[in-house]
Structure 1
Amino acid sequence: MERKGALLATCFCAGLLGALCSSLALSAAGSWGLMAAAGVNLAPALNLSWLYPRLVWGGLWGLLFFFPVASPRNRRHWIRKGLWLSLLPSAFQLFYVFPQLEQKGLMGLELGQLAPLFVLLFNFLWGALTGMLTRIFWGRG
């Protein structure tokens, strides 16, 4: 049971670090004007009150990564599994957070027509990094 707990903690840490990298990339893309050039009003300022919740949520979503890799025989294709898993936080953001919590319309279309694409891209980055970092941290064990 100790190994399962260690893998669970590894998934949380990898999800948190994946969220950190994804958040930094999102902030950089906004400050460099890539979002504005695409007609998307999704350029958050990089501050701690914006970053901390994203890190916690990234870790919590990373806990779900435990389920596809919990069995030793299923521990392959880590990055692919992370990419598939990234569709869950994307759907949550597009179909719950944007319309219900932030009143930005279904899929955040009030932020711009390409907003859903950017949400998917930055969550794909999170998923790929979560899968890769979990694999690196876990090793061959």
Structure 2
Amino acid sequence: MVRKISGCFTGGALGALVDSFNIWFLGKAGITAMLGIGLRPEFTPAWLYPRLVWGGIWALLLLLPVWEKRIILRGCAFSLVPSAVMLLAVFPGMGKGLFGLGFGILTPVLVVALNFIYGVIASFWLKWSR
């Protein structure tokens, strides 16, 4: 069980690292601005560290015995939980409105898409770590 927990957490942290790099790169390259999305984070330790920890924590959902043989579907499905929290709690708490629409109309699409990548990476890592 410790190996499963470790695999989940590590996969989630790795997925969060990729997710963080992706959103940083999209902002730095001007792609988010081109899409009308106001997300342009700075790639700093203070911004990255909580994302890695929360990525690992959210990936513990992969301990649930659901779709264990359907890795991509499983990763995408479980990534909807942190997406929902971000869109329904975090962004509104930041004053950016429900679904983070204060950042731009395509913000929910970007959040869900990047979290799908996070979930798939975490799910693959868990499978590879067994």
The answer to whether TM tops 0.5 is yes
Residue 110 of structure 2 is matched in structure 1 by 118
Q: Which runs of 4+ in 1 moved over 4 A?
A: none
* Backbone CA RMSD of aligned residues: 1.1
Larger RCO (CA under 8 A, 6+ residues apart): 2
Pairwise CA distance, 1:77? 1.0
Q: Trace 1:61-140 onto structure 2 (pairs within 5 A).
A: 61-68=58-65, 75-100=68-93, 102-138=94-130
Residue 12 of structure 2 is matched in structure 1 by 15
TM-score (norm. length: structure 2): 0.96
Whether 1:47 aligns to 2:40 is: no
CA distance in 2, matches of 1:59, 1:23: 13
CA offsets, 1:102-122, max 9 Å, x none? 110011001101011111111
TM-score (norm. length: structure 1): 0.88
Amino acid at match of 1:6: R
Gaps of 5+ in 2: none
CA distance in 2, matches of 1:46, 1:68: 35
CA distance in 1, matches of 2:126, 2:55: 13
CA distance in 2, matches of 1:24, 1:109: 22
Pairwise CA distance, 1:136? 1.3
